[in-house]
Amino acid sequence: MEKKRIGILLLFIGIVALVAGFLMRRSENQYESKEEVNKIEINENESGVKIRKSKDDKVRVIYREGKGLTYTVKEEDGVITVNNDAIKFSIGLSLEDESVIVEIPKDYDKELVVNTVKKCVFEKDADKIKFSKKEINENVEK
């Protein structure tokens, strides 16, 4: 009898994990700058942001979209703006810390503005980029 209960419990846990994995599935998208970038503005109201050094002279925004999580990325007059369009109830369950990754060239000396509900993490060497202005607002309320 005890083995049967354990078997049913394991089956239930497996089904819950499968459904949760399906619901949290996200597709990765990438935007690459088309012109010279003078300002990067990220507005992330669901997770954190990671900044890393680009391997070339392009600014790239890598973002993951999925059920209830969408982004708008615009480039206009030298400004790249990334907005999280999700307006949803969040229970705080997230398997990843960053949904947005921004790759910035090492010689980028322009402006960076990040507004996020979690952390903005600078990967190795990205913290050496000399921004003309760097404004990082963490733990911003939704």
**Would you list the domain boundaries of the chain?**
27-137
- The band of 20, judged by pLDDT with boundaries at 50, 70 and 90, is low
Lowest mean pLDDT among 15-19, 86-90, 102-106: 86-90
Q: Measure Cα distances from 86 to 22, 43, 64, 116, 142 in Å.
A: 18, 11, 12, 13, 10
- The band of 2, judged by pLDDT with boundaries at 50, 70 and 90, is confident
pLDDT digit string, tens, across residues 37-55: 999 999 998 788 999 999 9
Lowest mean pLDDT among 4-13, 17-26, 89-98: 89-98
